């Protein structure tokens, strides 16, 4: 088992190698994700409504 202080030092060294995004990049990607989530939600809502109406129509034919 390693010394905890040595481990913390290694973690600091590794995190210093990471290329962190700028605030502008964070805001742009966050906005893109939210837009894509909204579009996907609308797509699945419309798809669900269409499939629901088709199933109702088919079930009414059987009566």
Per-position pLDDT tens, the chain of length 63: 678 889 899 999 999 999 989 999 999 999 999 999 999 999 999 999 999 999 999 999 877
Per domain, the residue ranges of the chain are 20-61
Confidence (pTM)? 0.66
**How many angstroms separate the CA atoms of 58 and 63, rounded?**
9
pLDDT reported for residue 1: 63
Residues in the chain: 63
User: How much is the pLDDT for 2?
Assistant: 72
Q: Who's near 29: CB < 8 A, 6+ residues apart?
A: 21
Angle at 54 between CA 47 and CA 60, to 5 degrees: 155
């Amino acid at each position: 088992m390693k010394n905890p202080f040595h481990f913390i030092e290694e973690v600091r060294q590794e995190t210093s190698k990471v290329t962190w995004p700028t605030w502008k990049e964070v805001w742009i990607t966050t906005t893109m994700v939210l837009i894509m989530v909204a579009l996907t939600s609308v797509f699945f809502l419309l798809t669900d409504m269409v499939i629901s109406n088709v199933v109702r129509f088919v079930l009414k034919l059987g009566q």
